[in-house]
Amino acid sequence: MKESRHGILVTRHSHTSYTVAVSRDVPYGLTRERREYMGH
């Protein structure tokens, strides 16, 4: 992470539950959201 290659991934598990993680799949400086549920 010292080389600034990772971004932030927010994963929603429900309307009230989510996790936030450093991810190598997200470009540095960006935050992306992903849903793991089919909410309304």
Q: In what order do the strands lie in the sheet containing 7-12?
A: 18-23, 7-12, 31-35
Inter-residue contact 34 to 13 (CB < 8 Å): no
Inter-residue contact 20 to 8 (CB < 8 Å): yes
- Specify the pTM: 0.77
List pLDDT tens digits, range 1-40. 566 799 999 999 999 999 999 999 999 999 999 999 876 6
pLDDT at res. 40:
60
pLDDT at res. 20:
98
pLDDT at res. 8:
98
pLDDT at res. 38:
76
